[in-house]
Amino acid sequence: MIFTSWGSNVRRVVVTGVGVLAATGKEPESFINNLIEGRSGIRRIQQFDPSALSVQIAAEIPDYKGTDYFPAKRLDLIDRFTEFGLIAAKQAVESSGLEVSDEERPRFGVMMGAGMGGARTYELGYCSLFAKGATRVHPFTIPKSMHNAATSQICMEYGAQGPSLATSTACSSAGHAIGEAFRHIKFNLADVMLAGGSESPVTFGIMRFWESVRVMATGNGDPSHACRPFSADREGLVIGEGAAVLVLEELERATHRGAKIYGEIAGYGLSSDAGHITQPTVDGPARAIRMALDEAGINPEDIDYINAHGTGTRLNDATETLVVKKVFGEHARKLAISSTKSMHGHAMGATAALELAATLLAMDRGVIPPTANYTTPDPECDLDYVPNQAREAPFCAALSNSFAFGGLNAVLLVRKFQ
Amino acid sequence: MDVSQKVMEIIAREQHLDPGVIRIDSTFEQLGIDSLDGVNILFALEEEFKIDIPDAVAQNMKSVQQVVDSLTRVLEGKDISDLVAMAKGETQPAAN
């Protein structure tokens, strides 16, 4: 029980702003509405002609144009994943009514996850070098593509001069970013943080790379039903894109200014499987969940809802079910579990932020979003996955799981602010 | 081809500026062109004129006139060793 040694001399951290850009909604309101309605954002790929791919579907931001959000000069210097991060950060800051004085800036930071970073920019650079025989590439290639580009651009936009970093732990990236931001406030290293993740992995090259791993759902003929987490007929994951950013704030600062509080981040667990580079273990994720529970100081029975990692692959969903059973015992059957990836897709380095945003917005509404496209029970996945229909169920404490390729796990525990 | 006209056109395009604000005697500072913008303009010039502009020459380009002068010499295949030496701090710039 490492957390008891920290004593009670730690600060509480609440979420006071939410920004979301996803296939299922370009702001938080439509995002959560669509998830509750069980509407999938997965469609045939629009950004390029996917005819040559065997997987031709993804969860893209519908009708997205950078020019709708940024002047041309700004767009020259930012990759699509940074655009997404800036848009979500703007929504989060505006929704929170956050104002940070010059004196506070050294205690105001930004932490963003990015799994693939500016992969699109790299791809264009390599294409001109190797395919077109160019002898030089665009000088903005590095500043656009570096993984910390979104973090740094958000810092510059809002004058955040405090502890800031970018995390890259594949599918857990944003979970780690939010968790680290939470701990920075909790342990008095910062007062306000913008934390989340952004990703734009829908490029021809990356889709090809993922195809080769053989974990992708095909479903080209019926994209919106392609991703079926926990269902016996699940075929794999569907790549998504987007960003979510949360405003994390020390409790007293938030209450003093009368900010709306979406919920409290009460625990964060992280662990490494140290097992296999792609196959998840049961013990690693279980340890991350236990750490989050320990930190929050609550019993497993107090958890009402888990927003699952739930990728829709054979292996993840069966293993995650074992993880939940291992940690929660009998309570595993009383928990509501859902995978919103069935609708917003697997947005890689952004996905944990989208899922924590979904969890907080759902807690605010008192409605649990469903796992869409659930058709057939699987003996290996025999818990309550909230199939297809949202559930009116006020809940007080929830987990958001992220179990990444590479075995680096991140679990966030949120509870209703009281 | 008028090199100075083309240079001003490229600077306007890359900086998203109204071509009317760019004059032959404008400095990069006056036009709000920072060091990263500068390498972007050099890249555009290299692409446009199908040339390589050596780093040493590039370092001397801080105004539209300097760009035009240096570029003209590179395009005409003239000896640019004095520009290289100047960039290395070995000689002082000659008076105009």
The reply to whether A140 touches chain B by the CB within 8 Å rule is: yes
* Annotated catalytic residue A381: no
Q: What is the mean pLDDT of each run of 10 residues along chain A (418 residues)?
A: 65 98 98 98 97 97 98 97 98 98 98 97 96 94 97 98 98 98 97 98 96 93 97 97 98 98 98 94 98 97 98 97 98 98 98 98 98 98 98 97 96 96
A139 to B46: CB separation less than 8 angstroms, yes or no: no
Best mutation target, B10, B16, B55, to test chain A (most A CBs within 10 A): B16
* Chain A CA closest to residue B41: A139
- Shortest distance, CA B25 to any CA of chain A (angstroms): 23
Strand duo A397-403 + A305-307: pairing: parallel
Tokens of B69: 């002068």
Please compute, for residue A125, the number of CA atoms within 13 A of its CA located in the half-sphere on the CB side: 16
Domain that holds residue B27: 3-87
Q: Enter the ipTM.
A: 0.82
The architecture that CATH gives domain A13-256 is 3-Layer(aba) Sandwich (3.40)
Total domains in the fold of chain B: 1
Catalytic annotation present for A171: yes
Domain boundaries, chain A: 13-256, 268-415
| CA-angle at A320, arms to A314 and A325, nearest 5° | 130
pLDDT, tens only, B38-82: 999 999 999 999 999 988 888 878 999 999 999 998 888 877 777
In a domain, B19, yes or no: yes
Chain centroid offset of residue A181 CA: 14
Whole-model pTM: value is 0.94
Residues of B in contact with A121 (CB under 8 A): none
Please indicate if any CB of chain B lies within 8 Å of the CB of A73: yes
The domain defined by A268-415 folds into Peroxisomal Thiolase; Chain A, domain 1 (3.40.47)
Q: Do domains A13-256 and A268-415 have the same CATH topology?
A: yes
Residue B39 in any domain: the answer is: yes
C-alpha distance from A72 to closest chain B C-alpha (Å): 7
Q: Are A303 and A411 in contact (CB under 8 A)?
A: no
List the single best residue of A124, A128, A140 to mutate versus B (max B Cβ within 10 A): A140
CATH code, domain carrying B16: 1.10.1200.10
Q: How far apart are CA A168 and CA A182, in angstroms?
A: 17
